[in-house]
Structure 1
Amino acid sequence: MSTDAEFADAQPVPPIPPQPPRRPAAAAAPGPADDPQTAVLRRVPPEPPMPPVPPSAPAARAATGPHPVPPRPAVPPRAQPPAAGAPLPPRPDRVPGSPVPTGPATTGPSQPTAFRDTAAFHLARSQDLWTGAGEPATGPSAPPRPRRPDFAAPPAAPGSMPPGPAAGRPSPVPWPRTPRPHQGVAHGHGAPAAPFRRPGARVLTAAACLILGIGLIGGAAAGSWLTEDASGAAPTAEAVFTKGRDVWHDTPVDTLFPRTVKGLGAGPGGADRTWTRTAVAPDTGCTAAYDPKLAAALAPAGCVRLVRATYVDATRSAVITVGAQITKADPAGMMALNTRFSSKNLGTRTDLMPLPYAAKGTVAEDFGREGRVSWTVRVLTDIPAVVYAVSGFADGRTFTEPQPAEAAVRPGATTAPAESGLGHDAKDLADRVEADFRKAAGSPTPTRQAS
């Protein structure tokens, strides 16, 4: 805001009043006593000469005292300005010591002679002389006093009038005060700033929750960093083997047997294959899941539980049962069983094929013993498990020349299991279930097994 806008409400300063008009000259020039602006001093009478004292009369002088000397008049006190409303002292008609005028006596009352000091008198009468209200003149020879104009003079500006009585001085015009800016309003031409407010309880609570959350996340990260060596290190073989015994009931069924399995390039000639789960058998014992000869071959390892599931391909023409037997054997027992199956080729004998799981009301309900086309049996050594898979046709047809999956997937094979893709189905689904069991047990790399 500019300076003019700040003092828009202030009262205008009036100009200095003009000098009062001079009084008209009198018919006869007044003497020094009649002029109030002329210095009038009282004559001091000279001291009378002292008479000579005869030398022979010291005793008489001592008796009578010294020659009387008239006292010197004291200096009159300085005139004081008259109080407000008090009458002014009369002016003397003549200077003390001057000859008495011989003219006719005035008819007015005689006024006492008063002492006048020019400086004090001028100071006391300066306001009256300035405003034109001088003391009244006495006598017929006093000039007429000029009258003031009828119009009212503008008020004097503060400080332009001479000092006078406190009652007669006008009250000073108050200086306009600049309004104080409101709290929260910025100086200048910018937009008003928002007033400062203390944060409420909700803001403090949100800030505390944020800080607590950051602290928890930081603590978790620090704990993970501190235990990085322990958690990042590969588990021991004993730990993997022990955990693999409990995988069947500690891992969800959809993890061990996914609902849908996609095999990229897993079919004949590198074709993609897709299998969908149709049924999951309840976990049971191993007595009714194998033929008697296969059960006898796996008996040295023992049986804790057997889990199975059946899949169908995208054409719904092939069905595959895949399962896993959890054994009671220790690592040495599983190694001995794997060596026996490898050295005696137990995995390629047609009288040691596993049985399919034909769930009622599904596509695989006609899948029986005579319909088995290809199979695989794998004895794992890093976890106590035996994984197998068996495939056949969904329409329930019988097949008299089954072939192991490893032989049906060889390049250039022209057998029915090889050309129909049932060998690839059994091998690839067994590979997937084996990898899921190993991953659930924490095994980093697969172990070669016998077929």
Structure 2
Amino acid sequence: MSTDAEFADARRIPPIPPHPPVAPAPDEDPHTAVLRRRVPAAPPVPPAAPPAPPAPSAHHPAASVPPPGPARPAVPPRPTAPPPGPAGQPAAFRDTAAYHLARSQDLWHEPHERAAATPPAPEPASATPSAAPGSRPPTPAAEHPPRPPRPRTPPPPQTAGGVPAPSPRPAGTGRRPGARMITAAACLVLGIGLLGGAAAGSWLTATRADGPPSREAAFAKGRDAWHNTPVDTLFPRTVEGLGIGPGGADRTWSRIAVAPDGGCADAYDAPLAQALARAGCVRLLRATYLDATRTNVITVGAQTTEADLAGMLALNTRFSTQSLGHRTDLMPLPYAPKGTPAERFGRAQRASWTVRVLTDIPVVVYAVSGFADGRTVAAPQPAEAATRAGATTAPAESGLGHDAKDLADRVAAAFRTASGIPGKSAESPA
């Protein structure tokens, strides 16, 4: 004899085959048909029975009672046997809790699944079955419409080796649209970045090229400015000086002669040539100007040296600390070509002068001025002293000091501009 303890463990319960379809009795509730014993229903009404009672009211279904009919003979209830179980199972097994739990698995499924798994029971011969006394009348079918069965996904096809075969891709489909859009956006961003980088690089390169060169590059370029720059740029034909004359008067100078470029031999007196000898001489350029009154003549010269940056700094320091620019024996010589207003401009006519040793380019600029009528000057005066406020000497009052100083400044600025250096350096006149 088997007990419930033998089947308490669900893993030891043998598989139970599906039970045969059993139609529920008219008086049974389909949700509790498995968990309670079946109550025998009244026998069906013979065909000669009176018509079926009207449908129960929607508000009081339990109060509907069929109309009285002819008395029916009492029929003893039929003993109902429990539904047969699977073959080979004893009757005691069907009385256990495990057996009832196994048979109640249909209650956990959806109604449409139970309907699909269980075929419909045959309808009774009568159109409307009679309800047993005390039982709930049957619910019309319209109140609970059956749900359509869920579509089941067919299993994927398998190859001969049991491996699922890859699902075929529909014809005409390629990469997903999202991936294409992402790729296109990435290419667009990359292209814009490359173009922006190229433009920024070009702008930075142009800015660097337009900016001032390095000190070494400007120094090297200044050494070649004498033959890379037109003479009209280094020595303009006309120079305008607004408010730079004595008492703030305007000055205008016109170029009357340009000396051929050459060496420094016989270009200076011996003391000045000896002072500039340490820097060396590459080329010497000279030009002579005449002021607007045709009274003053000025010779401007520019000597390109062989010295490096350190050599030019040392030469400038020597001229400044030893006041070589203030010594009258170190005055430059004038350039006085024949047939010009400056042909009588000689050593005795020199009245004012200045010597500039540039430190950013290898160039020494000088200027010397005198009277165009050939008069001699007994006391020459340096341009820095003749341009001071309150000076009453002949070079100061005639403006010869201003002529020498301002023309030397203009020529030095022209050489710096040709070397790529804007503005002026901080060195002072020697």
TM-score normalised by the shorter chain: which range applies? 0.5 to 0.7
Q: Distance in 2 between matches of 1:319 and 1:294?
A: 21
CA–CA distance in structure 2, aligned partners of residues 418 and 274 of structure 1: 17
Contact 2:296-2:400 within 8 A present in 1 as well = yes
Question: What do residues 370-426 of structure 1 show as CA deviations (whole Å, max 9, x unaligned)?
Answer: 000000001010000000000000011111100000000000001100000000000
2:296 is the alignment partner of 1:318: yes
Q: Which amino acid counterpart does residue 215 of structure 2 have in structure 1?
A: A
Secondary structure of the equivalent of 2:377? Answer: coil
The answer (yes or no) to whether the contact 1:339–1:450 under 8 Å persists in 2 is: no
2:348 matched to which residue of 1? 370
The 1:265/1:224 distance shift into structure 2, 3 A limit, reads: farther
Q: Distance in 2 between matches of 1:365 and 1:340?
A: 34
What is aligned with 2:428?
Answer: 449
* Structure 2: runs of 5+ lacking an equivalent: 1-198
Tell me how far 1:226 sits from its aligned partner.
Answer: 5.5
1:405 paired residue among 376, 383, 387: 383
Which whole-Å CA distance do the structure 1 matches of 2:374 and 2:202 have between them?
Answer: 55
Partner of 1:228: 206
Name the SS for the 2:352 alignment partner.
strand
Q: 2:223 aligns with which of 245, 249, 254?
A: 245
Q: Find out whether 1:347 has 2:347 as its counterpart.
A: no
Q: 233, 238, 250: which one pairs with 1:272?
A: 250
Q: CA deviation at 1:443?
A: 1.3
Equivalent residues of 2:332, 2:366 under 8 A apart: yes
Q: Indicate if the aligned counterparts of 2:413 and 2:423 stay in contact, CA closer than 8 A.
A: no
What amino acid sits opposite 1:316 in the alignment? R
**Superposed counterparts of 1:26-45, under 5 Å:** none
Alignment of 1:68-107 (within 5 A): none
Structure 1 runs of 4+ aligned residues shifted over 2 Å read 221-230
Computing the radius of gyration from Cα coordinates, the structure with the larger value is 1
For 2:379, give the aligned amino acid.
Answer: E
Is contact 1:338-1:450 (8 Å) kept? no
Q: Which residue of 2 aligns with 1:101?
A: none
CA-CA distance at 1:282 after TM superposition: 0.3
**Counterpart-to-counterpart distance in 2, 1:306 and 1:377:** 14
Q: Secondary structure at the match of 1:411?
A: coil
Secondary structure of 1:227's match?
helix
Give the structure 2 partner of residue 255 of structure 1: 233
Matches of 2:371 and 2:202, distance apart in 1? 51
CA deviation digits over 1:115-134, x for unaligned, max 9? Answer: xxxxxxxxxxxxxxxxxxxx
RMSD: 1.6
Residue among 269, 277, 282 paired with 1:291: 269
Aligned residue in 1 for 2:315: 337
Take 1:224 and 1:255, find their aligned partners in 2: how far apart are those partners? 31
Cα distance in 2 for residues equivalent to 1:257 and 1:250: 14
Answer yes or no: is 1:300 the counterpart of 2:278. yes
C-alpha separation between the residues in 2 aligned to 1:269 and 1:438?
29
Paired with 2:352 and 2:285, the residues of 1 have a C-alpha distance of: 20
Displacement, 1:250? 0.2
SS of alignment partner, residue 340 of structure 1: helix
Contiguous gaps of at least 5 residues in structure 1: 1-220
Q: Percent same amino acid among aligned pairs?
A: 74
Partner of 1:297: helix, strand, or coil? helix
Distance 1:330 1:369 in 2: 32
Q: What SS does the aligned partner of 2:427 have?
A: coil
Distance in 1 of aligned mates of 2:386 and 2:281: 30
Question: How many equivalent pairs are there?
Answer: 232
Q: What code does the residue aligned with 1:326 have?
A: T
In structure 2, the CA distance between the partners of 1:330 and 1:398, relative to structure 1 (3 Å rule), is same
Distance 1:423-1:283 versus aligned 2 partners, 3 A rule? same
Structure 2 distance, partners of 1:404, 1:420, is: 14
Distance in 2, Cα, partners of 1:417 & 1:257: 23
Q: TM-score, normalised by structure 1?
A: 0.50
Would the aligned equivalents of 2:368 and 2:404 in 1 still touch at CA under 8 Å?
yes
Q: Under a length normalisation based on structure 2, what TM-score does the superposition of the two structures give?
A: 0.53
- Residue aligning to 1:424: 402
